[in-house]
Amino acid sequence: MTRSRRRQLRIFLTVLLSLLLVTAAGIGAFRASVSDALDVMQRRAGQRLDLYSTSLESEIARYAQLPGILGLAQPVDALIHDPNNPQRQQEANRYLERLAERTGASAIYIQDWLGEVVATSNWQRSDSYLGENDAYRPYFQDAAAGGAGRFFGVGTSRSEPGYYLSDGLYDGPRLLGVAVVKISLARVEKAWAESKSLVLVTDQNGVVILSSEPRWKFTAAEPLDAAVRAEFDRTRQYNRLPLPPLGLKTLRRLDSDVQVVLLPKASTSLPSSDPYPRHFLAKSRALAQSDWRVTELLSLDAVYELAYSRAALAGVLTALAIVALLWWSERRRHVRDKLAAREALQRAYNELERKVEDRTADLSSTNLRLQAEVAERARAEQHLRQTQDELVQAGKLAVIGQLSTGVAHELNQPLAAVRTLSGNAIRFLERGDLATASANLSTINELVEKMGSITSALRSFARKSTSSVGVTQLQRAIDNALFLVDQRLKKTRTQVLRPTMPETLAVRCDPNRFEQVLVNLLTNALDELENYPAPRIEITCRRDGAQVVLSVRDNGPGLADSVRAHLFEPFFTTKPAGIGLGLGLTLSAGIVAEAGGALMGDNHPEGGAQFTLTLPAVSEEEQHD
């Protein structure tokens, strides 16, 4: 190949490579701009979702305790004991009417044990609920079954959507009726619409029940099949509305709760920015204590427009940089030959200097390494102990984090009751009814003591301890551990069988660390029993000479052979990714071993997993000393 041909080929390859670089720069700039914008939008959307979720949950929480305390009102109590008395019905109607006006509820009504409405706040309206039978509604069935009813639906009388809260009215164990409070969430929707945000809330069926965009309300996020629609017709949850599909199409999923979607232009009344497509960033979040999800849609029109501009700018700058680089390369080539000999000599000199410095550095590093090894051995034992203490404390804080939802629920109910009772006490004092006001204040005092016991147990459990030496009263430690997991026990309806033991039975171990071990074992058992029929945990305790043997057994599926071989290995876990680091049993075994005991795990002969603790016993004389 002649020199001219080689030069032409080199020019062709240079131009081709330049075009590829310009194209790559434009594409990279476009993607980087979109990615950065999406990250910023996700953070902002997360902050706004916090506000939307809080506003919706607060609106519902205002009325959450009202159905449960309606049975305390004298007109309601008199009516449910004598539902056929017209005078008592009239008194209850007037009472509920005044209560609805003061609280802002859409409707408040009382059903008998068969589901028929016997008193209602809208008794004077032509479309009053009096005489209706809503026994087929889930909120009545949940309350009649002994739980608290929570249901969103469209009313069958006035076709008004609302959120229904219900609770049973009992005379001892006998169900006399159900109290229902219907609230409107239109105020929340109005606030969202005024903020110019695209927000929607879907229920457990995927139906849009709240939205800042009126066209989206009572549409389906996904097409509904015939079986689901038949169930809706039976419960009349949406009062036979057509529930057409919203038409959202997922283009790209960025995270479990974040995705880029395409929305048909006919689905919104907001202006579009042609020629860009109607792309949105959809970020959603599950609402606490419900099956609802709140989603915000953020338009990506401006994001793509800015990305196109940045891509064009990146392409131009890259082209200019390539031209400058080619000019510099050509000029550099002319002086390269002249500097080659000098550079070769300089490299040889630098290589010689490097070898001398390397040998000197090797001698110095060897001396320093020996000194460091001596110091490291002295610090190793102290560092290991400190690391274990930090891991134990981190484990306790992780357990507290898992229990935070249950604790918040435990505190929320007494706080709501205190608010209601304190307000009633003020009115009773104004009326001069000191006896009732005093009873309300006594109840408030009991609720405050209950909340104090909850926070005291958490504060004691979270206290940092640095040693496994101490004396633990077993009865008290078991009580504290069960108290900390009480919410999970109630939620899963797990039966706990525990021993009857003398209060003086104690072992040699730090109480706080011993409770951490028990909480770890109980939490692991509850994880295995989740969705398991008739879950049961059995705690047994006996004294064997100078040792105390305590076992925690569940009636779950037991431990697989592959799991038993690695039970106490660090970072080994059978839980899904993101739930636990596999350090619970490892740290628990370390705590027990440091106290002079042992922790073992195996399957029980009658089924289920069983973990056995063996610790030195402490006599009554030693406890006294």
pLDDT at 401 over 50: yes
Inform me whether the pLDDT recorded for 323 exceeds 90: no
**Nearby residues of 322 by Cβ (< 8 Å), 6 or more positions away:** 18, 21, 22
The average pLDDT across 175-179 equals 92
Q: Is the pLDDT score of 106 beyond 80?
A: yes
Q: Is the pLDDT of residue 499 over 70?
A: yes
Whole-number pLDDT of residue 120: 92
Return the percentage of the chain with pLDDT > 90, whole number.
12
First to last CA, the chain: 102
**Euclidean distance between CA atoms 585 and 599, whole angstroms:** 9
Give the type of residue at 242.
Answer: P
What is the spatial distance between Cα 36 and Cα 40, in angstroms, rounded to a whole number?
6
Is the predicted pLDDT of residue 392 greater than 70, yes or no? no
Q: What is the pLDDT of residue 581?
A: 45
Per-residue pLDDT tens for 559-617?
888 777 777 777 666 666 545 544 467 778 888 888 889 999 989 888 899 999 999 99
Q: Tell me the range of 409-413, 418-422, 503-507 where mean pLDDT is highest.
A: 503-507
Closest C-alpha among 494, 500, 593, 582 to residue 536: 494
pLDDT score for 467 = 53
Q: What mean pLDDT do residues 553-564 have?
A: 85
Band (pLDDT 50/70/90 cuts) for residue 276 is very low
Other beta carbons within 10 angstroms of residue 336's beta carbon come to 11
Q: How many helices (H) and strands (E) does the chain have?
A: 15, 18
Residue pair 36/306 in contact (Cβ under 8 Å)? The answer is: no
CA–CA dist 290, 57 (Å, integer): 10
Q: Are 73 and 179 in contact (CB under 8 A)?
A: no
pLDDT at 407 over 70: no
Q: Supply the mean pLDDT for the chain.
A: 80
* Contact indicator for 13, 299 with CB cutoff of 8 Å: no
Q: What is the pLDDT of residue 273?
A: 42
> Can you give the pLDDT at residue 218?
85
Q: Which residue has the higher pLDDT, 88 or 346?
A: 88
Alpha-carbon 512 to chain mean position: 27
Give residue-wise pLDDT tens across range 115-150: 899 999 988 888 888 888 888 888 898 898 888 888
Mean predicted confidence (pLDDT) in 451-465: 54
Model confidence pLDDT, tens digit, residues 19-33: 888 888 888 888 888
The tens digit of pLDDT for each residue in 434-453 reads: 777 777 677 676 556 656 55
Structure tokens at 518: 């028990």
Give the residue-averaged pLDDT of 250-262: 85
Rounded to an integer, what is the distance from CA 84 to the centroid of its chain?
Answer: 47
pTM for the structure as a whole: 0.47
What is the Cα–Cα distance from 64 to 71, expressed in whole angstroms? 14
**E strands within 196-270?**
198-202, 208-211, 249-253, 258-262
pLDDT of residue 378: 62
Q: What is the C-alpha separation between 269 and 495, in angstroms, rounded?
A: 55
Q: Which domains does the chain have, with CATH numbers?
A: 26-61+187-299 (3.30.450.20), 66-184 (3.30.450.20), 465-624 (3.30.565.10)
pLDDT at 402: 54
How far is Cα 567 from Cα 574, in angstroms, rounded to an integer? Answer: 10
Give residue 236's pLDDT. Answer: 78
Q: How far apart are CA 254 and CA 279, in angstroms?
A: 14
Per DSSP, 473 falls in state: E
DSSP 3-state of 385: helix
Whether residue 235 has pLDDT greater than 60 = yes
